[in-house]
Structure 1
């Protein structure tokens, strides 16, 4: 049973989850202003890790991953004993670990015109890490959709399933349109990472409402 003293910690951890997408995209937007040589239309956000200011994007991956891990712990504490309370937080934690891995292992640059693409070990690890993040969140969408459905939150269940379908669809569109691939991929990430932030915000609100009801019951 949750104690009153544990609930502030739960909400603080979930607040970290809420911050993941805003932090990632705000820092990326800041870099767009600092990096006139970078073209988001054709280059993925990961490519901001190149150059003298590349450390900013590396830090962005690491910070976002740490926030996601904290958010996953908050989900585990808040959803313990509920449907999806085991697999959902684990998948969210893999999202965080994947983002950290994407920061630790940098991407390979695009090949020069006419040159065959080559993949280094570091670049392969970056791709695997980012795929872990992306696929884990897609799976988490389905897991938590079942949870939301079980507690009567039909709108959140539909939103979760729609996110799980839209994000990979955008990736496919980006692959088919190289001239806008970077921008479309960024949109796919925003859809998926934004879902996690909003879910953490919703679960945090549930914890606050639960605390309020407990306080009212105790007062009565």
Structure 2
């Protein structure tokens, strides 16, 4: 007589849990950011980049948002490293972890004020903190772009051509949106492009994390006695 039971693979469960944070990170960051943008006096979504919310008396709220999102991205990167231990998958995990670190660093150094935000600011001042914030932001977007290429190649290798195409497309949107948006950051068009890059970044992270999650072994192992 055969009897079925199950056992939990704790390593697989941890890996899947870490990957789940890659799905949560984007919605968390965007929802919290929008709530702050709509409630902070003087902030204009059409003229101000979301990173400016790190400035002012309540700037710690957006810095916390960036830091928590960075930790989630870092967790997703570790999950990818645990799930795929070689080749393009390894590169993807490392690059996502780099994006997480870049978000943490962006929370630690704030951008320069612009005219109108925080209220009373005139803008036009360039500081070391502002430059570093931009550098860390660029590092994160570059890391995600490279990760999308690695993920696209990995997806193609396992026969998932649709995921590969979406990954390549989102990576292109991230890099083009960020650099074009940064160049036009003082205009509504530039802000819209930056938003597009942010949305594409987190859309890619969610899709890649979900795909690797499904691809990973299920933590519940069937046993027969």
TM-score when normalising by structure 2: 0.86
Q: Indicate the residue corresponding to 2:80 in structure 1.
A: 75
In the aligned structure 1, how far is the partner of 2:123 from the partner of 2:57? 26
In the aligned structure 2, how far is the partner of 1:153 from the partner of 1:71? 20
In the aligned structure 2, how far is the partner of 1:171 from the partner of 1:62? 20
Q: Indicate the residue corresponding to 2:172 in structure 1.
A: 165
Match of 1:192 among 198, 201, 215: 201
CA offset digits 1:68-105 (Å, max 9, x no partner):
11111100001113x31221111111100100010000
Q: Indicate the residue corresponding to 1:129 in structure 2.
A: 136
How far residue 219 of structure 1 moved from its aligned partner, in angstroms, is 4.4
**Pairing 1:156–2:163 present:** yes
Q: Is the 8 A contact 1:40 1:183 kept in 2?
A: no
Aligned residues: 211
Q: Is the 8 A contact 1:42 1:183 kept in 2?
A: no
How far residue 164 of structure 1 moved from its aligned partner, in angstroms, is 1.4
Q: Indicate the residue corresponding to 2:71 in structure 1.
A: 66
Task: Flag the 1:172–1:92 CA change in 2: closer, same or farther, 3 A.
Answer: closer
Q: Indicate the residue corresponding to 2:125 in structure 1.
A: 118
Q: Which runs of 4+ in 1 moved over 6 A?
A: none
How far residue 173 of structure 1 moved from its aligned partner, in angstroms, is 4.8
Match of 1:84 among 85, 88, 100: 88
Bigger proportion of residues as helix: 1
**Pairing 1:182–2:191 present:** yes
How far residue 176 of structure 1 moved from its aligned partner, in angstroms, is 4.5
Task: Flag the 1:157–1:67 CA change in 2: closer, same or farther, 3 A.
Answer: same
Task: Flag the 1:68–1:172 CA change in 2: closer, same or farther, 3 A.
Answer: closer
Matches within 5 A, 1:4-83: 4-81=9-86, 83=87
Structure 2 residues not aligned, in runs of 5+: 1-7, 117-121
Q: Is the 8 A contact 1:76 1:85 kept in 2?
A: yes
Q: Indicate the residue corresponding to 2:106 in structure 1.
A: 102
How far residue 18 of structure 1 moved from its aligned partner, in angstroms, is 1.5
In the aligned structure 2, how far is the partner of 1:116 from the partner of 1:60? 24
Task: Flag the 1:43–1:33 CA change in 2: closer, same or farther, 3 A.
Answer: closer
Aligned with 1:118: secondary structure?
coil
Taking only aligned residues, the RMSD between alpha carbons, in angstroms, comes to 2.2
Bigger proportion of residues as strand: 2
TM-score when normalising by structure 1: 0.87
In the aligned structure 1, how far is the partner of 2:33 from the partner of 2:84? 31
